[in-house]
């Protein structure tokens, strides 16, 4: 390689070499520079594998949580069956067991969603071969709200009797599991009479058929998700695309935070603050950025430093937003609409600044940005 470098440099600077570069454009020059910098390509390949390893690891957590959810939902169903499907009778006879199982299922949901899927959403929602899982689990809307930019979640859930519980009425997490386990949708919960409510200290219990059907659906879809993550072979252009298309969504998360706090009947982000999963999404994008960093450092070190700093700044800002949100909750209050709007505007400025820089980085390393995934 040492002996090859002078010959390549002479070739590039010769009249024939200059004509070649002028006629074939940046791709030719990129290839020649790449030959001089094999370490950057090797480092990027390692980073690609790191992204896949992280994706597979976190997807396995989603799968494990789904199976645990199913086991707890089955135990919950058995108690109701033993009491003839009478929730009041079950509450009086087996109140502590029911409460324990509800708490366990809520913990399973947090592991499915916040501690599992949200930690890789930046990758999944930004890649064509995986985006369908984002629509199914987390972002798809009811059929009444579908449009080109807001796809309908193809979630159809039936209970053991074959009764349709959900027919494309929204994504699995926020329109089925969360409102069922946290009492946010009346058709998914059973209201207790005064004696049962007093015994349990709560007014509603999740309907067992809904919880179990949703858990079984989560197990099925999580299994498919894990298989797809294992089969995915990441490419540099896909990682760049995830950065280009997902980074600008940062400010929209604050709209979700506002809705969870101020909507008359929220169903999403009532279990945990939206701020928490902002960190998961943007951290997965920062990890994805690392795939292009080695080559970018070789070709434009200043741009590489800037992009690294920008992603670090976003994570730091999320930490600040989280601290403000926690202070409000600890005081039994909530962030004001004005505060949330200010945070959203600041987040928009940060993400809007990053978007063109990522596209520039793609051009510098000779990668074409793929079309936007169907989100």
This prediction has a pTM of 0.85
Q: At which residue do the structure tokens 């989100």 appear?
A: 375
Asked whether the CA dihedral 170, 234, 316, 343 is positive or negative, the reply is negative
Give residue limits of the domains in the chain. 40-364
Is residue 251 packed enough to be buried (19+ CB in 10 Å), middle (13-18) or exposed (0-12)? middle
3-state secondary structure at position 169: strand
Q: At which residue do the structure tokens 């069922």 appear?
A: 180
CATH superfamily of 40-364: M75 peptidase, HXXE motif (1.20.1420.20)
**pLDDT at residue 41, rounded to an integer:** 67
Q: What is the pLDDT of residues 63-109, one digit of tens each?
A: 999 999 999 999 999 999 999 999 999 999 999 999 999 999 999 99
Which residues are CB-contacts of 357 (< 8 A; sequence separation ≥ 6)?
303, 306, 307, 310
Please tell me the distance from the alpha carbon of residue 214 to that of residue 159, in angstroms, as a whole number.
8
**pLDDT at residue 147, rounded to an integer:** 87
- Please answer whether residues 318 and 279 qualify as being in contact, where contact means their C-beta atoms are separated by less than 8 angstroms: yes
Q: At which residue do the structure tokens 């008359």 appear?
A: 264
**pLDDT at residue 40, rounded to an integer:** 64
Asked whether the CA dihedral 242, 167, 214, 278 is positive or negative, the reply is positive
User: Nearest Cα to 118, choosing from 320, 323, 283, 358?
Assistant: 283
* Host H or E run for residue 205: strand 204-206
Rg (CA), the chain: 25
Please tell me the distance from the alpha carbon of residue 136 to that of residue 156, in angstroms, as a whole number.
10
**pLDDT at residue 22, rounded to an integer:** 41
Q: At which residue do the structure tokens 């009811």 appear?
A: 142
> Which stretches of 67-125 are assigned E, i.e. beta strand?
none
User: Nearest Cα to 49, choosing from 334, 348, 294?
Assistant: 294
Q: What is the pLDDT of residues 38-59, one digit of tens each?
A: 666 677 777 899 999 999 999 9
What angle (nearest 5°) sits at the alpha carbon of residue 331, between those of residues 329 and 332?
60
Residue 26's CB: how many other CB atoms inside 10 A? 13
Please tell me the distance from the alpha carbon of residue 78 to that of residue 245, in angstroms, as a whole number.
45
- Please answer whether residues 246 and 126 qualify as being in contact, where contact means their C-beta atoms are separated by less than 8 angstroms: yes
**pLDDT at residue 39, rounded to an integer:** 63
**pLDDT at residue 32, rounded to an integer:** 43
User: Nearest Cα to 71, choosing from 231, 274, 250, 211?
Assistant: 211
Please tell me the distance from the alpha carbon of residue 288 to that of residue 294, in angstroms, as a whole number.
12
**pLDDT at residue 273, rounded to an integer:** 83
- Please answer whether residues 104 and 250 qualify as being in contact, where contact means their C-beta atoms are separated by less than 8 angstroms: no
- Please answer whether residues 335 and 261 qualify as being in contact, where contact means their C-beta atoms are separated by less than 8 angstroms: yes
User: Nearest Cα to 161, choosing from 220, 101, 81?
Assistant: 81
**pLDDT at residue 83, rounded to an integer:** 97
Torsion angle defined by CA atoms of residues 188, 194, 198 and 203, in that order, rounded to the nearest 10 degrees: 20
User: Tens place of pLDDT for every residue, the chain, 375 residues?
Assistant: 434 444 444 444 444 444 433 444 433 444 444 444 466 667 777 789 999 999 999 999 999 999 999 999 999 999 999 999 999 999 999 999 999 999 999 999 999 999 999 999 999 999 999 999 999 999 999 999 998 888 999 999 999 999 999 999 999 999 999 999 999 999 999 999 999 999 999 999 999 999 999 999 999 999 999 999 999 999 999 999 999 999 998 888 999 899 989 987 788 888 888 888 899 999 999 999 999 999 999 999 999 999 999 999 999 999 999 999 999 989 999 999 999 999 999 999 998 889 899 999 999 999 999 998 875
Is residue 148 packed enough to be buried (19+ CB in 10 Å), middle (13-18) or exposed (0-12)? exposed
**pLDDT at residue 24, rounded to an integer:** 40
Tell me the helix, strand and coil percentages in the chain, rounded to 5: 70, 5, 25
- Please answer whether residues 211 and 105 qualify as being in contact, where contact means their C-beta atoms are separated by less than 8 angstroms: yes
DSSP string, 231-279: H----HHHHHHHHHHHGGGTTHHHHHHHHHHHSSS--SSSSS-HHHHHH
């Amino acid at each position: 390689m040492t002996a090859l470098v002078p010959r390549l440099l002479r070739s590039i600077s010769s009249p024939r070499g200059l004509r070649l570069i002028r006629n074939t454009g940046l791709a030719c020059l990129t290839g020649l520079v790449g030959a001089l910098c094999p370490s950057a390509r090797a480092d990027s390949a390692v980073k690609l594998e790191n992204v896949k390893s992280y994706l597979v690891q976190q997807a396995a957590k989603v799968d494990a949580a789904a199976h645990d959810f199913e086991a707890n939902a089955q135990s919950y169903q058995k108690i109701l069956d033993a009491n003839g499907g009478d929730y009041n009778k079950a509450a009086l006879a087996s109140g502590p067991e029911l409460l324990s199982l509800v708490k366990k299922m809520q913990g399973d949901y947090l592991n499915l969603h916040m501690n599992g899927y949200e930690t890789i959403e930046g990758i999944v929602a930004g890649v064509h071969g995986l985006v369908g899982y984002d629509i199914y689990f987390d972002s798809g809307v009811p059929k009444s709200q579908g449009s080109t930019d807001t796809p309908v979640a193809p979630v159809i859930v039936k209970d053991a009797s074959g009764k349709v519980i959900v027919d494309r009425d929204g994504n699995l997490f926020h329109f089925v599991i969360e409102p069922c386990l946290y009492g946010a949708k009346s058709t998914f919960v059973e209201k207790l009479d005064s004696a049962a409510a007093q015994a349990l200290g709560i007014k509603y219990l999740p309907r067992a058929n809904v919880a179990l059907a949703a858990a079984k659906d989560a197990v099925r879809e999580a299994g498919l998700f894990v298989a797809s993550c294992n089969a995915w072979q990441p490419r540099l252009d896909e990682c760049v695309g995830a950065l280009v298309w997902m980074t600008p969504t940062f400010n929209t998360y604050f709209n979700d935070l506002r809705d969870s706090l101020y909507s008359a009947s929220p169903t999403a982000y009532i279990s945990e603050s939206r701020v928490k999963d902002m960190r998961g999404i943007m951290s997965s994008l920062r990890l994805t950025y690392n795939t292009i960093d080695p080559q970018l450092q070789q070709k434009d070190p200043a741009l590489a430093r800037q992009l690294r700093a920008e992603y670090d700044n976003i994570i730091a800002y999320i930490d600040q937003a989280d601290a403000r949100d926690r202070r409000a909750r600890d005081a039994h209050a909530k962030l004001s609409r004005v505060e949330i709007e200010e945070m959203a505007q600041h987040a928009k400025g940060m993400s809007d600044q990053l978007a063109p820089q990522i596209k520039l980085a793609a051009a510098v390393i000779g990668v074409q940005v793929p079309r936007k995934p169907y989100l």
